[in-house]
């Protein structure tokens, strides 16, 4: 992992497909050194990584075509902090219940997810979520062709549920995942929460 503890953390955003530019903007605004990541040699000096929304099956195919899937799996297993939003949450899930043929994930989160659980683009919606870890003010969440977490393992903490009980935000050690898109709302609290994981891991690894 890169740099010293006083330097800005170097956080990659997987830029194969999806809304990676929005995440780069939010991370840079919070003082991180945010960089697009497309190739295996761009992983080694990262302090953290964001996997954006998009189309998980396309992201999977491109990550394998670019030779970055296996290095990412190894980095996740080694403790690299990673935040996945929407399709990124699917990429971090150990199990995709309605995966298309040959679809694979990077894994790391002991969860089962269902793709497009709320329908197509026309079924996108917004709601307010109570997330105590982020403070008393509810989080305005935007769901766009969003997945849902159907089950969680013992190592996974639930951060947010919809009113009907469905799980839409989780974390486990170095990993964070949301079914919605904080990068489009102007509320940077989830990115701040993730950067705290990045800072904590930098301190731990240099301790």
Q: Please state the length of the chain.
A: 207
Choose, from 86, 171, 191, 201, the residue flagged as catalytic: 86
Choose, from 23, 171, 183, 191, the residue flagged as catalytic: 183
Choose, from 23, 171, 181, 201, the residue flagged as catalytic: 181
Q: Can you name the residues that pair with 84 across neighbouring β-strands?
A: 51, 177
Strand pairing report for 48-51 and 33-37: unpaired
Tokens linked to 128: 């307010």
Q: Is 183 a catalytic residue?
A: yes
Burial letters 95-134, b for 16+ CB under 10 A, else e: bbeebeeebbbbbbbbbbbbbbbbeeeeeeeeeebebeeb
Q: Is 171 a catalytic residue?
A: no
CB 168 within 8 A of CB 141: yes
Q: Is 86 a catalytic residue?
A: yes
Distance, in Å, from the CA atom of 75 to the CA atom of 140, rounded to the nearest integer, reads 31
Active-site residues, by number, are: 86, 181, 183
């Amino acid at each position: 992992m890169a740099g010293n503890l006083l330097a800005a953390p170097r956080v990659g955003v997987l830029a194969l497909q999806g809304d990676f530019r929005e995440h780069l903007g939010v991370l840079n605004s919070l003082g991180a050194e945010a960089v697009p990541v497309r190739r295996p040699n761009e992983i080694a000096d990262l302090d953290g990584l964001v996997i954006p929304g998009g189309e998980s099956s396309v992201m999977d195919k491109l990550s394998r075509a670019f030779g970055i899937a296996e290095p990412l799996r190894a980095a996740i297993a080694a403790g690299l902090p990673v935040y996945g939003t929407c399709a990124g949450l699917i990429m971090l899930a150990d199990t995709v219940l309605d995966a298309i043929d040959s679809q694979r994930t990077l894994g790391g989160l002991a969860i089962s997810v269902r793709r497009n659980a709320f329908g197509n683009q026309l079924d996108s919606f917004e709601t307010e979520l109570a997330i105590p870890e982020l403070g008393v003010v509810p989080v305005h969440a935007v769901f766009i062709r969003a997945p849902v977490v159907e089950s969680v393992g013992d190592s996974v903490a639930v951060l947010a549920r919809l009113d009907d009980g469905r799980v839409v935000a989780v974390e486990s050690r170095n990993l964070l995942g949301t079914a919605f898109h904080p990068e489009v709302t102007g509320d940077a609290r989830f990115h701040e929460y993730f950067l705290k994981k990045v800072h904590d891991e930098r301190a731990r690894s240099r301790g």
